[in-house]
Amino acid sequence: MPHATFHFPRNFLWGSATSSHQVEGNNTNNTWWAWEQQPGRILNGDKSGLACDWWGGRWREDFDRAAESNQNTHRMSIEWSRIQPEPDRWDEDALDNYREMARGLHARNMTPLITLHHYSDPLWLAEAGGWEESDVVNRFETYARKVVDALREYATLWITINEPNLYVLFGYLMGTWPPGKTQVRSLIKVTENMLRAHAAAYHAIHDIQPAAKVGVAHHYRSARPAKPWFPLDRLATALQSGTLNDTFPRALKNGRLILPLISKRIPEVANTQDFLGINYYTRELVAFDPLKPNMLFTHQYFRPDVELSENKWIANEPDGLFEALGWARKFNLPIIITENGIEDSQDILRSQYMLQHIHQVWRAVNFNWPVLGYVWWSLIDNFEWERGWTQRYGLWELDCGTQARRKRPSVDLYAEICRENGISSDMVQQYAPKIFDLMFP
């Protein structure tokens, strides 16, 4: 049996991620809490409720768990509705709480990677028109200044917006997320305002912290034509990939917003990223479907022979992550994998998925591609938006009723990877022996 280790560069970031609404609990002043109260919006009628009780202080024990498993970074987010509960009022106690969390990461020798917007908006902002109104740009810049000034002692890595492409897709085209719209005009306006808001926040952060590194966490969805020989499948795939994957980061590179039948110059947003965050989970096949205009005339599905997560939400397609990193290189920026993970309550596929995907990251690093870190989604089971509590991504299991945590076996694997700064043949043999010959032929 061969013995080898795939090592990563020194100072590589290894961590896991969370977001405020998904873990804090009782975020009663934002759009997602209001959305949860509407019948039929969340699978099984689930509510976020207490979530993981981080606002009650249980972030401390979860940070301990992350540090004890050798993670050296953690990605967390700030809840805008807590910082600014009303348009003319700031909550300094909430800022102090986030400051204590960032300080807590430092005390555990972990680098904070902080996201300013992770899907949820203050209710007062939504009532004023939300991201469809142009004044959101100044409001977001002001919010960013407030947070960064408060946490500047502890954080220099900032993500302005998490997955803006999914925020507009589900909220303004498909209508499955708040505000539940299905209007192309709204989608275009929100995309433009998010670009402008990101750029305004980018400059604000650098005013406060000239050495800060600022980026966006971008959702990359790998897609292949269902029938490569069929021109309409190829066209549908190109349309989906170009719209979903390219729109936002391309605009932040060249200052041009390009959507189907739309091309608009926004010069002030050009060159406003210091790194590109990549959230990658899966790949799908794309077929042309004239009956699905709200899905860009596409039908998506997984390969019939691929391994699927327990709710058939994610296909284990690790080379899609290598594809995502190759795609990201065209933006000429350092790259951080800001999310990668799989729903797996029984921890059956997680270790294999983790090893295979991190191996693809190593391949990229071995080509000297500028990948700085890898962040697993998620540290602990949390409330998964419209899918409620039906999906379990956590390294640690959460019992929502008792708030008890239970370590899944994959925690030990990830701890070994983080400690070794790499993947060894012994790890693969122990935690996922069925893929040993694939990784060490």
Q: Which residue has the higher pLDDT, 151 or 291?
A: 151
- The tokens of 157 are what? 């890595």
Decide the pairing of beta strands 396-398 and 73-77.
unpaired
Query: Residue-wise over 80-101: b if at least 16 C-beta within 10 A, else e?
Result: bbbbbbeeeeeeeebbebbbeb
- The tokens of 260 are what? 């189907």
Total count of residues recorded for the chain: 441
Cβ 251 vs Cβ 258: under 8 Å: yes
pLDDT digit string, tens, across residues 349-379? 999 999 999 999 999 999 999 999 999 999 9
Q: Write phi, then psi, for 294 (nearest 5 degrees).
A: -75, -5
pLDDT digit string, tens, across residues 132-178? 999 999 999 999 999 999 999 999 999 999 999 999 999 999 999 99
Cβ 133 vs Cβ 125: under 8 Å: no
**Predicted pLDDT of residue 141:** 98
Q: Which of 238, 239, 267 is nearest to 253 (CA)?
A: 267
Cβ 95 vs Cβ 150: under 8 Å: yes
Cβ atoms < 10 Å from Cβ of 401: 7
* Residue that is written with structure tokens 């989906």 in the block: 240
Q: Which of 365, 399, 356, 299 is nearest to 49 (CA)?
A: 399
pLDDT digit string, tens, across residues 197-211? 999 999 999 999 999
| Spatial separation of the C-alpha atoms in residues 274 and 390, rounded to whole Å | 36
- 5-439 homologous superfamily: Glycosidases (3.20.20.80)
pTM, two decimals, is: 0.97
| Spatial separation of the C-alpha atoms in residues 361 and 321, rounded to whole Å | 7
pLDDT digit string, tens, across residues 8-58? 999 999 999 999 999 999 999 999 999 999 999 999 999 999 999 999 999
| Spatial separation of the C-alpha atoms in residues 74 and 59, rounded to whole Å | 12
Cβ 69 vs Cβ 58: under 8 Å: no
**Predicted pLDDT of residue 83:** 98
**Predicted pLDDT of residue 260:** 84
Model confidence at 294: pLDDT above 90? no
| Spatial separation of the C-alpha atoms in residues 221 and 84, rounded to whole Å | 33
| Spatial separation of the C-alpha atoms in residues 358 and 341, rounded to whole Å | 11
pLDDT digit string, tens, across residues 91-109? 999 999 999 999 999 999 9
Q: At residue 161, what is the residue type?
A: I
- The tokens of 205 are what? 């952060």
Name the pLDDT band for 2 (thresholds 50, 70, 90): confident
**Predicted pLDDT of residue 1:** 67
Decide the pairing of beta strands 157-162 and 422-424.
unpaired
37: CB partners within 8 A, 6+ apart: none
- The tokens of 14 are what? 């290894």
| Spatial separation of the C-alpha atoms in residues 282 and 305, rounded to whole Å | 14
The DSSP output letter for 330 is G
Radius of gyration for the alpha carbons in the chain, expressed in angstroms and rounded: 21
